[in-house]
């Protein structure tokens, strides 16, 4: 598969899938959570909501290094050969101040059913500043994409 095809797969996954598996580590080992997410247009940033009382929020407060797995599996045996998965690696932080409104608007355009949760005082809008993506397709084809300007 050539780089252009892999880039198309990456963009398709990030802009069409609604959920991903977030991995955090607050010092007591890895912890994963299913999250609804939205990707920024340039894929440099991913956004999700969480309660400030959640374990993932605590873990991110202690260690902002995270990864988010996004895939298109259908829970069928054919997934071994046909599913595509991408891991976004980066640093998470709570989005506040400038740009929060635009990021929240982007997120809610994909997940309007989460509007009441988003307006709760205990809800944090989280931003993952992506440093790289690792795309795995056709069971074992791996392509890596560094994101310039991450950090």
In whole angstroms, give the CA distance from residue 36 to residue 68: 11
Q: Would you tell me how many other CB atoms lie within 10 Å of the CB of residue 94?
A: 15
Output the tens digit of pLDDT for each of the chain's 151 residues.
577 888 999 999 999 999 999 999 999 999 999 999 999 999 999 999 999 999 999 999 999 999 999 999 887 787 777 789 999 999 999 999 888 999 999 999 999 999 999 999 999 999 999 999 999 987 788 989 998 754 4
Phi and psi at residue 65, in whole multiples of 5°?
-75, 125
Nearest to residue 124, comparing CAs of 43, 60, 68, 34?
60
Q: What share of the chain is helix, strand, coil (3-state, %, to 5)?
A: 30, 40, 30
In whole angstroms, give the CA distance from residue 39 to residue 16: 9
Beta bridge partners of 21: 34, 69
CA Rg value for the chain: 15
For 3-146, give the CATH class. mainly beta
Nearest to residue 22, comparing CAs of 138, 44, 55, 148?
55
What does the domain layout of the chain look like in residue ranges? Answer: 3-146
Query: Which position has the token pair 């580590």?
Result: 25
Question: CA–CA distance from 111 to each of 39, 81, 117 (Å)?
Answer: 12, 30, 11
Phi and psi at residue 18, in whole multiples of 5°?
-95, -25
pTM: 0.92
Token duo for residue 75: 């829970």
């Amino acid at each position: 598969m050539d780089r252009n095809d892999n880039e198309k797969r990456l963009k398709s996954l990030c802009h069409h899938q609604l959920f991903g598996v977030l991995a955090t580590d607050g010092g007591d080992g890895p912890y994963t959570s299913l999250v609804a997410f939205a990707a920024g247009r340039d894929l440099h940033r991913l956004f999700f909501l969480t309660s400030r009382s959640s374990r993932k929020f605590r873990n991110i407060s202690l260690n902002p290094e995270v990864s988010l797995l996004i895939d298109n599996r259908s829970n069928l045996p054919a997934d071994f050969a046909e599913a595509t998965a991408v891991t976004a690696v980066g640093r998470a932080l709570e989005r506040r101040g400038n740009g929060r409104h635009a990021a929240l608007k982007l997120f809610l355009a994909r997940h309007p059913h989460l509007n009441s949760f988003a307006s709760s005082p205990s809800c944090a809008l989280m931003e993952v500043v992506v440093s790289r993506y690792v795309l795995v397709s056709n069971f074992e084809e791996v392509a890596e994409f560094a994101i310039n300007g991450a950090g």
